[in-house]
Chain A
Amino acid sequence: AQSVTQLDSQVPVFEEAPVELRCNYSSSVSVYLFWYVQYPNQGLQLLLKYLSGSTLVESINGFEAEFNKSQTSFHLRKPSVHISDTAEYFCAVRASGGYQKVTFGIGTKLQVIP
């Protein structure tokens, strides 16, 4: 079974400052990793994912995450946040291959302060 730990439930950050949202996972098999974002009153939507290949993955709106197998981490970073990034961010993991359920972390609320 897999598990995900998001270490921060809330992260306040000033606009244009950098941010890192931390995610650690636990698994005995190889995994796929995801970050989803949930804007207020909406469902979740995929931000970025790691399936294989380059350990650094990027989203279209400036976020990036790096898969670190030795540290079992998949932290999400952005060098300069905008007000519009205010949302809840969920890290998720699933075992690779076959029909596998996805396990979500508890979420991190990013609050961007003007």
Chain B
Amino acid sequence: DSGVTQTPKHLITATGQRVTLRCSPRSGDLSVYWYQQSLDQGLQFLIQYYNGEERAKGNILERFSAQQFPDLHSELNLSSLELGDSALYFCASSGAGSGYEQYFGPGTRLTVT
């Protein structure tokens, strides 16, 4: 158990819809990262937050957005969903003293039909 929790575990929705994925980092970790993992694209970095502020952006589509709240949990919002958005979405966290290690949650499997 990494200490990172993600909800929901599975999500099935239709094209055009909007969903929100939630992540709670390990206790004390200030950094949260979001990744998308698909068979054809591999593991893609989406975005990083540190203590509520956006720190780095990767291959995140304009239809996607994220935020980190004062209690440090984070949400990834995916809108106008397309079939190609079907993937595993991972959240990871890291903190001071972790030696730059990222701790990954179990992931949310999103299926867009």
Binding site for B on A (CB under 8 A): 32, 34, 36, 42-46, 49, 51, 90, 94, 99-107
Contacts and interface: CB of A to CB of B under 8 A. Distances in A.
A51 B100 CA distance: 9
B42 A106 contact: yes
Task: Please give me the 8 A-B residue pairs with the lowest Cβ-Cβ distance, nearest first.
Answer: A43-B104, A106-B42, A101-B56, A44-B104, A104-B43, A46-B101, A99-B55, A43-B106
Contacts of B25: none
B24 interface: no
A32 B100 contact: yes
B42 A104 contact: yes
Nearest to B56: A101
Contacts of B50: 99
B42 A101 contact: no
Nearest to A44: B104
17 contacts: A34-B100, A34-B101, A42-B106, A43-B92, A43-B104, A43-B106, A44-B102, A45-B2, A46-B101, A51-B100, A94-B100, A101-B58, A102-B33, A102-B45, A103-B45, A104-B35, A104-B45
A44 B90 contact: yes
Interface residues of B, number: 23
Interface of B: 2, 4, 33, 35, 42-43, 45, 48, 50, 55-56, 58, 90, 92, 99-107
A43 B42 contact: no
Contact of B101 (A49, A99, A101, A104): A49
A49 B106 contact: no
B42 A107 contact: yes
Given A42-B106, A90-B43, A101-B45, A51 B58 contact: no
Nearest to B102: A102
A8 to B, nearest CB: 14
